[in-house]
Amino acid sequence: MTKEQRKNHIKQWYQAHSNYRKQNYQEHQKERIEYAQRWRQEHPNYHKQYNKTHKKQIQKYYEDHKEYIKKRNKNYYWQHHEERLKRNKEWQQKHSNYNKEWREKHSNHIKKYNKEWREKHPNYFKEWDNKYRQTENGKLAKAKQNAKRRHKLCFVPINKPFKNSVWHHLNNTLVIAIPKEIHSKCSGGPNVLEHRQRVLEYYNNNIINMLIKNYNE
Ligand SMILES: [Zn+2]
């Protein structure tokens, strides 16, 4: 048998037994990992030494298999996603002070990193923000922000918003959800106080009807 023939023969055998090998590989995966771990513990300097003497070969291997390694790492990353989340959470709970200190110490770096991330992903927050703003919580948060910014008002709701409602300030603190239609009917006075008076009068005259209409339908 020539060298070439032997090579082919081996290749054919591997192809013919690929399922067997696969199964064998999977069945003994745990043992193999344990064995490798033990071996590493018993030979702590071997890898260091090997890395030193084979620097060029290792580098070449990484360059030649760039895509494969990338793919493998990515697979590994997502396969162990849940575990990692759990581990991270546990670690964070254990080291909450450490995290806090780290954040304070590196606040400039974090700010810079966040800024760069936002610039690289300009639509991420926009899309997320749009979705959030459609929700009831999002609408409420927005209304609060507006009240605070525009009028330096507080925002303490005394009822829940409903369909086609807007928030109206009864005074500088209390807000009430009222139908948009009523709100615009009562606006257009010379000042805020006049507007509030109109809404109040409307409510005094119609409160029972309004309650029935908005909460019993
Ligand atoms: Zn109003």
Alpha carbon of 156 to ligand 1 centroid (Å): 14
C-alpha 187/C-alpha 19 separation (Å) is 78
For residue 206, the enclosing domain spans 153-215
Residue 35 lies in a domain: no
Residue 102 lies in a domain: no
Residue 77 lies in a domain: no
Is the whole model's pTM more than 0.85, yes or no? no
Token digits of residue 26: 């999977």
Q: Per the structure, how many domains does the chain have?
A: 1
Residue type, 138: G
Alpha carbon of 195 to ligand 1 centroid (Å): 7
pLDDT by residue for the chain (217 residues), tens only, comes to 788 888 888 888 888 887 777 788 778 888 888 888 888 888 888 878 888 888 888 888 888 888 888 888 888 887 788 888 888 888 888 887 877 888 888 888 888 888 888 888 878 877 887 888 888 888 888 888 888 877 778 889 988 888 888 999 998 889 999 889 889 988 877 788 889 998 988 888 777 676 677 665 5
Alpha carbon of 150 to ligand 1 centroid (Å): 13
Residue 36 lies in a domain: no
**Bridge partners, 169 (sequence order):** 175
Residue 17 lies in a domain: no
Residue 48 lies in a domain: no
